Amino acid sequence: MPIKVLVVDDSLFMRTLVSDMLDSDRRIEVIDTAKNGAEALKKIPEIKPDCITLDLAMPGWDGLTTLKHIMSQYPTPVVIVSAYSKEDADITIKCLNAGAVGFVLKPSGELSLDIRTVEEQLLEQVVAAAKVNVAKIKSLVAKKPKRARRKLIGINKIVVIGASTGGPQTLEAILPSIPSDFPASIIVVQHAPSRFFSESMAEHLNNTSPLLVKVAGDNELIQAGYVYFVPSGFRMTVTNRSPQYESGLTNHDQRFICLSEEEPSALSPSIDIIMRSVAKIYAGNVIGIILTGMGQDGREGMKAIKESGGKTIAQDESSLIFGMPKVVIDAGFADKVLPASGIARAILDLVA
């Protein structure tokens, strides 16, 4: 049976384009469309869609308001289809934390004539979202992590977390549980098609976490107690050579971030690249974590961390999308397999 989709967008032109793209895939069938949130809410109990694509900027109820009504009355996997701006990114982060499964960026604003450039991403997001157990979404969104209270001794370790679809909600369940005196550094690699989303996620988590959360900067010194988000559209590696001096190594405890610009994509930034780099520089002092997401980015990175003597954790089947973690688990590269609710405690135990 094909995946039944309801397309919600105030623009007839965009509803038509999005519907045509979805209908082009034999796995998917657009069973109806709606021009606003109120109309969508009336149709959901009648047509019972497997997935909903939802625009953000609509008259009456906006996307976030519509999503809240959907999740409270007729819980259904939702993929946000939004425009490309800082404001849209902020609202999309709120939508993800309110229960949306994934997001696709309209490449050139609300009326994107070039929407077909993200066709493959949209199709995969819808197919993945339709497989999500809605109970997992509600459970993940409802859980408020408890802040750990533990005095940790400073040591030269680093944690690298890789995530894709479902990552923002899962990170929200992990990072606030890490105390402000955490003696290691954390790098987060969250697939995002725009730097706006990397910045918005970092800003949001900085407001909810005891740690200092920021977007990583080129040549930045890596410090304990900080969480560095790799910006979308950039390839990140780590070096122990100071950018201020062309020759000679710095203090052996100092590590620096190196960023090189690349074309943003659905799999940007690369989890494998940063994990392999960190494994080389930090050797056995790395804790690698792979969270929810589609595909197999992170598989080779987790292999490198494990082979260097580091420790690895994969999220279990409670993942919204049990794709990337399953690949790592099946390959034998996960030392621990845990639900999101147990990952913060495992990090503290491995670092303490």
Cα three-residue angle 91-194-9, rounded to 5 degrees? 50
CA distance linking residue 314 with residue 326, whole number of Å:
8
For residues 128 and 161, state if they share a domain.
Answer: no
- Domain containing 164 equals 146-351
* 36 has pLDDT over 70: yes
Per-residue model confidence (pLDDT) at position 154: 46
CATH number assigned to the domain comprising residue 50 = 3.40.50.2300
CA distance linking residue 219 with residue 242, whole number of Å:
8
What pLDDT digit, counting tens, does each position of 263-305 carry? Answer: 766 678 999 999 999 999 999 999 999 999 999 999 999 999 9
* Region 133-153 average pLDDT: 63
CATH number assigned to the domain comprising residue 210 = 3.40.50.180
Per-residue model confidence (pLDDT) at position 51: 97
For residues 193 and 281, state if they share a domain.
Answer: yes
* Region 332-346 average pLDDT: 96
What percentage of the chain has pLDDT greater than the value 90?
Answer: 67
CA distance linking residue 348 with residue 106, whole number of Å:
39
For residues 346 and 205, state if they share a domain.
Answer: yes
What pLDDT digit, counting tens, does each position of 190-202 carry? Answer: 998 778 888 999 9
For residues 99 and 152, state if they share a domain.
Answer: no
Say if residues 81 and 11 touch (Cβ distance below 8 Å).
no
Higher pLDDT pick, 53 / 244 = 53
For residues 63 and 205, state if they share a domain.
Answer: no
Per-residue model confidence (pLDDT) at position 252: 57
For residues 155 and 229, state if they share a domain.
Answer: yes
Burial code of 196-221, b = ≥16 C-beta within 10 A, e = fewer?
A: bbbbbbbbbbbeebbbebbbbeeebe
For residues 254 and 136, state if they share a domain.
Answer: no
Q: Considering Cα of 189, then 195, then 199, then 200, what sign does the dihedral take?
A: negative
Q: Considering Cα of 7, then 319, then 226, then 275, what sign does the dihedral take?
A: negative
Higher pLDDT pick, 210 / 266 = 210
Residue with tokens 């209908």: 23
Per-residue model confidence (pLDDT) at position 308: 97
Per-residue model confidence (pLDDT) at position 247: 47
Per-residue model confidence (pLDDT) at position 241: 72
Number of independent structural domains in the chain: 2
Q: Considering Cα of 96, then 168, then 328, then 136, what sign does the dihedral take?
A: negative
Catalytic residues, which ones?
164, 191, 297
* Region 109-116 average pLDDT: 68
For residues 151 and 132, state if they share a domain.
Answer: no
CA distance linking residue 22 with residue 18, whole number of Å:
6
- Asked whether the whole model's pTM tops 0.85, one would answer yes
Q: How many other CB atoms are there within 10 angstroms of residue 114's CB atom?
A: 11
Per-residue model confidence (pLDDT) at position 243: 58
For residues 315 and 271, state if they share a domain.
Answer: yes
Per-residue model confidence (pLDDT) at position 153: 46
